[in-house]
């Protein structure tokens, strides 16, 4: 008996979608970060994924006993190499691990690849999946030491097809016999083998006394040598070069050798084909008869010109092809070259930006790629009249494989034209050859570009090493690869190492299509406003011409990308466009990502999979706006797109991962723009990205009323709470919400840390408590999805602690990440007392006095509606005023003092220091609010100030029993039919017993807490906080003082200190009122505050008091 399941391998069909979804969900624990990426698979997701896939095969392993899928694999054409296939996703259920299900699926893939004529099958896995490496190696897969992660390549299909290998396998009728015949080390390490200076993979097969030894050239990704031992003897055919590393200008030798160990003569012919820039310096073909037990070697010296294609890491290299004919049987061997210049001339300082009449230093690095000591000069071709360089040439000596360099100073003339100016560097070097003779070589030219960006100009250049077109602007560099028109855009100002990326694909089906790497015809066109770069190519399988177009404007941080498609046929053609952006993985990015989701703009660290697909679904309605941004201390960058013609949008790490258009039908000869994306390299913050979206997509500009408004972001787990306000010491309950702002459900713990002196408990609305049970440290785990309501219960541990207090507690949501939100418990005063309001005449003026046991204040409608007096329990006056009669004071023509309401219309030319608000006819009456607050209300309608005539005001001054807080609540309403704008102000003049001298105003300014003192020359600051604290200077221990607090998060206060006055002014610069609109301006006077921290805590609660 065996526990290996009996399986059937089927092609995928949609009726398997539902059981496949269940199977893929079972893979969650087997994959790093989970296979589902936080969103369980559904049948619909499986169908959508496979319908859009360009696959050679989608294979499903079905357990015959249960009829359920237990494994699957996808096989695709290689995206870059037409001779190779690629294994996409391979996996099995946890129960099927180590039961040869994966092996059976891979064997089927190899069978299909062989049948379809592929010579190689590639597979990639993550570096931590080493347990799978032995299986892969048994399947003939070689671990490429130069690949990313675990990149594996199997050459078994090519070996089975090669004419010189076929006789070995022909002795066994089983087409899968190669698996049991293979002999290899399955160590969990890269296959880094070198023979005769060449990087190779080694395959060995044995069948009795027969054996087969195959060498695969790792650079050419093809067979370069075969040794076959069979009943008729030993045969060796092998091609090799002196070493894989071949340097331009340095002679090398190609060798083709045949060893005939058989008992019969063999007719042998060979013809060599080179590659661009390779010159054979001898006869490159041969025709001979190789006697039995004899050998023949064709050795051909060759050299490479400087324009030979240079080596590109982990890309199949050009090769020398040996076309063989052995006893009439044709075959091919390929040998790759790692081509490099003898000396690399590089500048690692990236793009060099210059301006006229400027000087810039260019560090140049020289890399000796040879094993010889080199001597020579670094020189430059003659430059134009606008540029000079020092020194013009530099002598050097480079040790074998050593480094050298020079620093070139470039000076530009005042008339240097804007645009790209290329410097061409080359070297004359000499070396001693093997015979001791000194030889001289002139290297090829290396381009070093100077980009003159005068006037914010954007300019284009070339990177010959990477075969990219460059767009260089003051704020960014864009690189467009000629092979596939792949864009990489990097900003100069962000902290991100990760770049924006975009490339175009045509489908369906989609996948690793050869079109993605088609060579493009790239043209750069200059316009009056900037540059337009066009990269076009004809689709190899469709009657379509695709143009990727980039529009770069001068002095702009925005690079627009457009995709234009032309149907070159006469008949209509249906197609879709897909833009591929940033792929998955961990971003090397230390910024934060901003995404407009239904809950609001959500902010999170970029290295967070919950801010990517599928946690953020791809359906268009998943985003409320068409933009995404990343930002940090240095600024922001982002992308904006048009949803027109789009079907789905995928995000990854704060960038576009993929955009898929709707199916489109182009008429014959029709040209259409399918996609528009704006890439923004530099912005102040995410709001700028949003504004660009509004302007370019919605067709509207943000008006001044909205531009300055604070728009807070949400975390992924948002805790919404209100200040818990109690009139005195008592138990309290408050409702709060916990919202998972993304789609993926999150498992976590919701916990609460109580304020000092309180016990706290939290429970789901309608559910049981979530706090830790007695004897345990862990709270109950819960699934957090969507918006959930909780009840927070607070109970005092000491009822004797009476009077005002402001404490903070903490709600903590622990998931794989932790989210925190502080809440405030505000105890206004004490029980057993009341607020009294009395009316009387003082110095001939009607006055209302309000007393709550710890403070008393006075208000008069006949004195400009001002609160002109505020005394603490020691009868110390805390405000300065000119009561009973207004009089000029310093810069104020209409000075009343105390707390003075002012309404100022700057747009009409009104002078703030002469505002006549307080001369309006006003009424006053006692008022109450919420059963706790009590005081007086002053009301009036503007008549004197013409531009705001008819606006209604209700100014309330309120107190709570034995509370040090005096609340100023100003309700402003526009009952007119005119839209209005004006600036409501509250002017406060604090002081001790009518004098500011000897006092200080404490606030936060310039990043720290500061004291503003009375000085002969006025000192004016705009604090970073809406909290100011009047207190006595010196070392007195008295806690007498006055806190002046304005509501709101945005700083909106001004403090002006002289030897006569401490003017504390709050201005609301955003008071735009449409007909019927109402606005509330709120402030608080805090009597004898204990410290500045308490003031800031109270200030944060002002908008929530009622």
Give the tens place of pLDDT for each residue, 149-175: 789 999 999 999 999 999 999 988 888
- What pLDDT is recorded for position 33? 60
Kindly state the average pLDDT of the residues 728-755.
Answer: 91
- pLDDT at 893 > cutoff 50: yes
* Residue 47 reports pLDDT greater than 60: yes
Q: What angle do CA 176, 179, 180 make, to 5 degrees?
A: 105
pLDDT computed for residue 1016 by the predictor: 66
pLDDT digits (tens, 9 = 90+) for 831-886: 888 999 999 999 999 999 999 999 999 999 999 999 999 999 999 999 999 999 99
Residue 992: φ, ψ to 5°: -95, 115
The closest alpha carbon to 906, from 983, 801, 823, belongs to 983
947: tokens are 């531009």
C-alpha 207/C-alpha 868 separation (Å) is 107
pLDDT tier, 79 (very low <50, low <70, confident <90, very high otherwise): confident
The per-residue pLDDT for range 1068-1079, each reduced to its tens digit, is 888 899 999 999
**CA neighbor of 282 nearest in space, from 319, 245, 256, 318:** 256
pLDDT of 585 higher than 60: no
- DSSP secondary structure letters along 253-272: EEEEEEEEEESS-EEEEEEE
Which range has the worst mean pLDDT, 59-63, 1060-1064, 1075-1079, 1095-1099? 1060-1064
Answer yes or no: is pLDDT of 892 > 90. Answer: no
The total of other beta-carbon atoms located within 10 Å of residue 160's CB is: 17
The structure tokens 């002795």 sit at 171
Residue 776 has pLDDT above 50, yes or no: no
Lowest-confidence segment of 31-40, 339-348, 696-705, 784-793 by average pLDDT: 31-40
* 959 contacts 874 by C-beta, under 8 angstroms: no
Structure tokens at 991: 């002081």
DSSP annotation of 654: T
pLDDT at 777 exceeding the cut of 50: no
Cis, bond preceding 137 (omega within 30 deg of 0) = no
- pLDDT tens-place string over residues 812-836: 999 888 999 999 999 999 988 899 9
Q: Kindly give, in sequence order, each residue whose CB lies less than 8 Å from that of residue 161, ignoring residues fewer than 6 positions away.
A: 114, 117, 119
More confident residue, 609 or 1001: 1001
Reported as type and span, the H/E element at residue 158 is helix 156-161
368: enclosing H helix or E strand: strand 359-368
Residue 494 has pLDDT above 60, yes or no: no
Q: Which residue has the higher pLDDT, 687 or 910?
A: 687
* Mean pLDDT score of the chain: 91
Query: Per-residue b/e over 38-66, b at no fewer than 16 CB within 10 Å?
Result: bbebebebbbebbebbebbbbbbbbbeee
Look at residue 907 in the predicted model and tell me its pLDDT: 77
pLDDT for res 792: 94
- In this predicted structure, the answer to whether residue 146 has a pLDDT above a threshold of 50 is yes
Task: Give the DSSP letter string of 716-747.
Answer: SEEEE---EEESSS--EEEEEEEEE-SSS-EE
Kindly tell me if the per-residue pLDDT of 130 is higher than 90.
no
Strands 655-661 and 646-652: antiparallel
Q: For the residues of 924-958, what is the DSSP string, one character each?
A: EEEEEETTTEEEEEEEEE--SSGGGTT-EEEEEEE
Give the model's pLDDT for residue 396. Answer: 93
Mean of pLDDT values over 793-817:
90
Q: Are strands 476-481 and 468-472 parallel, antiparallel or unpaired?
A: antiparallel
| Residue 871 token pair | 């005394």
Percent of the chain clearing pLDDT 70 (strictly above):
95
Could you give the CA distance from residue 1080 to residue 1098 in angstroms, rounded to a whole number?
18
Please say if the pLDDT value at position 1 is more than 50.
no
Domains along the chain with CATH numbers = 342-452 (2.60.40.10), 460-699 (2.70.98.10), 717-827 (2.60.40.10), 836-1104 (2.70.98.10)
609 pLDDT tier (thresholds 50, 70, 90): confident
Over residues 187-243, the pLDDT tens digits come to 889 999 999 889 999 999 999 999 999 999 999 999 999 999 999 899 999 999 988
DSSP states along 326-348: ETTEEEEEEEE-EEEESEEEE--
Give the residue from 707, 662, 657 showing the smallest Cα distance to 677: 657
Give pTM, 2 decimals. Answer: 0.80
Residue 513: helix, strand or coil by DSSP? coil
pLDDT of residue 702: 78
| Cα–Cα dist 255/471, whole Å | 44
Q: Could you give the C-alpha distances from 1080 to 164, 323, 709, 914, 1102, in angstroms and in order?
A: 90, 88, 15, 24, 11
Torsion of CA 380, 385, 388, 394, to 10 degrees: 20
pLDDT in tens, 327-357: 999 999 999 999 999 999 999 888 999 999 9
Instruction: Give 507 or 223, the one with higher predicted confidence.
Output: 223
Report how far residue 224's alpha carbon sits from residue 855's, in angstroms, rounded to the nearest whole number: 96
Other C-beta atoms lying within 10 Å of the C-beta of residue 143: 20
With residues binned 3-state (H G I as helix, E B as strand, rest as coil), the percentages for the chain, rounded to 5, are 10, 50, 40
What integer is the mean pLDDT of 662-674? 93
Provide the pairing of β-strand 933-941 with 952-959.
antiparallel
Q: What does the pLDDT read at residue 175?
A: 83
**pLDDT recorded at residue 703:** 74
CA–CA–CA angle 711, 714, 718 (5° rounding):
140
Put residue 451 in one of left, alpha, beta given phi > 0 → left and psi -120 to 50 → alpha: beta
């Amino acid at each position: 008996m065996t526990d290996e399941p009996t399986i059937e391998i089927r092609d995928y069909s949609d009726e398997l979608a539902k059981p496949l979804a269940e199977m893929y969900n079972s893979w969650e624990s087997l994959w790093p970060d989970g296979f589902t990426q936080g969103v369980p698979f559904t049948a619909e997701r499986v169908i959508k994924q496979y319908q859009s896939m360009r696959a050679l095969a989608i294979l499903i392993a079905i357990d015959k006993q249960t009829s359920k899928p237990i494994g699957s694999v996808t096989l695709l054409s290689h995206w870059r190499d037409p001779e190779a296939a690629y294994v996409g996703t391979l996996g099995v259920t946890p129960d099927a691990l180590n039961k040869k299900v994966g092996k059976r699926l891979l064997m089927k893939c190899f069978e299909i690849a062989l049948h379809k004529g592929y010579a190689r099958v590639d597979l990639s896995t993550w570096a931590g999946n080493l347990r799978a490496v032995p299986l892969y190696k048994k399947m003939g897969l070689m671990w490429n030491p130069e690949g990313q992660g675990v990149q594996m390549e199997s050459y078994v299909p090519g070996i089975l097809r090669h004419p010189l290998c076929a006789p070995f396998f022909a002795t066994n009728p089983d087409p899968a016999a190669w698996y049991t015949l293979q002999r290899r080390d399955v160590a969990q390490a890269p296959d880094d083998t070198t023979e005769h200076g060449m990087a190779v993979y080694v395959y060995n097969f044995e069948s009795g006394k027969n054996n087969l030894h195959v060498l695969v050239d790792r650079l050419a990704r093809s067979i370069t040598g075969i040794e076959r031992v069979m009943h008729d003897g030993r045969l060796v055919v092998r091609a090799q070069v002196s070493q894989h590393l071949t340097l331009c200008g340095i002679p090398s030798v190609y060798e083709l050798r045949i060893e005939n160990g058989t008992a019969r003569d063999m007719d042998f012919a060979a013809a060599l084909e080179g590659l661009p820039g390779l010159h054979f310096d001898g006869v490159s073909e041969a025709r001979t008869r190789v006697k039995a037990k004899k050998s023949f070697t064709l050795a051909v010296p060759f050299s490479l010109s400087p324009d030979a294609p240079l080596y590109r890491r982990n890309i199949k290299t050009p090769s020398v092809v040996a076309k063989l004919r052995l006893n009439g049987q044709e075959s091919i061997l390929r040998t790759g070259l790692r081509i490099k210049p003898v000396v690399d001339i590089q500048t690692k300082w990236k793009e060099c930006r210059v301006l006229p009449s400027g000087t810039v230093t260019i560090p140049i690095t020289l890399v000796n790629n040879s094993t010889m000591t080199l001597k020579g000069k670094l020189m430059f071709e003659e430059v134009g009249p606008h540029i000079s360089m020092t020194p013009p040439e530099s002598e050097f000596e480079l040790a074998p494989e050593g480094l050298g360099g020079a620093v070139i100073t470039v000076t530009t003339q005042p008339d240097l034209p804007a645009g790209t100016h290329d410097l061409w560097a080359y070297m004359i070097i000499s070396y001693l050859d093997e015979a001791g003779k000194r030889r001289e070589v002139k290297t090829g030219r290396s381009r070093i570009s100077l980009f003159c960006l005068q006037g914010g100009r954007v300019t284009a250049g070339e990177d010959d090493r990477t075969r990219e077109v460059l767009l260089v602007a003051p704020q960014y560099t864009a690189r467009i690869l000629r092979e596939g028109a792949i864009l990489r855009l990097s900003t100069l100002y962000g902290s991100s190492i990760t770049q924006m990326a975009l490339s175009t694909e045509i489908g369906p089906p989609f996948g690793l299509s050869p079109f993605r790497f088609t060579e493009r015809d790239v043209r750069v066109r200059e316009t009056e406003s900037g540059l337009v770069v066009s990269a076009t190519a004809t689709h190899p399988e469709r009657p379509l011409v695709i143009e990727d177009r980039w529009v770069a404007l001068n002095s702009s941080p925005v690079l627009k990308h457009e995709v234009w498609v032309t149907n070159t046929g006469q008949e209509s053609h249906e197609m879709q466009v897909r833009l591929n952006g940033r792929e998955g993985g961990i971003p090397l990015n230390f910024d934060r990502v901003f995404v407009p989701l239904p809950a609001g703009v959500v902010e999170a660290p970029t290295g967070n999979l919950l801010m990517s697909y599928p946690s953020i679904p791809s359906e268009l309605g998943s985003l409320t706006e068409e933009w995404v941004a990343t930002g940090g201390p240095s600024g922001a960058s982002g992308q904006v797109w048009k949803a027109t013609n789009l079907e789905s949008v995928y995000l990854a790490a704060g960038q576009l991962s993929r955009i898929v258009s709707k199916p489109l039908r182009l008429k014959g000869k029709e040209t259409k723009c399918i996609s528009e994306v704006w890439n923004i390299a530099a912005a102040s913050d995410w709001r700028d990205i949003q504004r660009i979206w509004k302007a370019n997509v919605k067709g509207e500009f943000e008006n001044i009323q909205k531009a300055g408004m604070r728009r807070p972001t949400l975390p992924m787990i948002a805790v919404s709470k209100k200040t818990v306000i109690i009139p005195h010491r008592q138990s309290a309950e408050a409702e709060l919400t916990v919202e998972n702002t993304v789609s993926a459900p999150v498992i976590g713990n919701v916990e609460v840390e109580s304020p000092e002196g309180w016990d706290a408990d939290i429970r789901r609305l309608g559910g049981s408590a979530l706090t830790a049970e007695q004897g345990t440290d862990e709270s109950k785990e819960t699934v957090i999805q969507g918006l959930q309501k909780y009840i927070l219960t607070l109970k005092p541990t000491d009822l004797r602690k009476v009077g005002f207090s402001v404490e903070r507690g903490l709600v903590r949501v622990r998931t794989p990440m932790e989210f925190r939100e502080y809440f405030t418990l505000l105890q206004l005063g004490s029980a057993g007392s009341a607020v009294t309001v009395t009316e009387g005449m003082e110095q001939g003026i009607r006055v209302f006095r309000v007393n709550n046991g710890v403070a008393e204040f006075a208000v008069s409608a006949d004195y400009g509606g001002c609160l002109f007096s505020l005394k603490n329990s020691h009868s110390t006056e805390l405000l300065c005023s000119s009561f009973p009669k207004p009089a000029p004071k310093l810069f104020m023509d209409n000075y009343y003092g105390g707390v003075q309401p002012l309404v100022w219309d700057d747009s009409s030319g009104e002078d703030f220091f002469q505002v006549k608000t307080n001369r309006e006819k006003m009424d006053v009456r006692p008022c109450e609010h919420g059963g706790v607050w009590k005081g007086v209300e002053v009301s009036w309608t503007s008549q004197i100030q013409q531009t705001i005539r008819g606006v209604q005001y209700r100014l309330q001054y309120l107190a709570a029993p034995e509370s040090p807080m005096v609340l100023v609540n100003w309700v402003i309403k526009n009952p007119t039919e005119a839209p209005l704008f004006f600036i409501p102000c509250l002017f406060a003049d604090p002081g001790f017993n009518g004098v500011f001298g000897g006092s200080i105003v404490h606030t936060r300014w310039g990043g720290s807490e500061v004291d503003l003192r009375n000085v002969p020359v006025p000192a004016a600051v705009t604090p970073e906080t809406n909290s100011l604290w009047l207190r006595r200077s010196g070392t007195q221990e008295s806690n007498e003082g006055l806190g002046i607090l304005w509501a709101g998060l945005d700083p909106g206060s001004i403090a002006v200190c002289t030897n006569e006055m401490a003017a504390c002014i709050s201005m609301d610069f955003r008071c735009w009122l449409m007909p019927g609109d109402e606005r509330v301006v709120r402030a608080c006077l805090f009597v004898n505050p204990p410290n500045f921290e308490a003031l800031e805590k109270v200030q944060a609660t002002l908008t929530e008091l009622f």
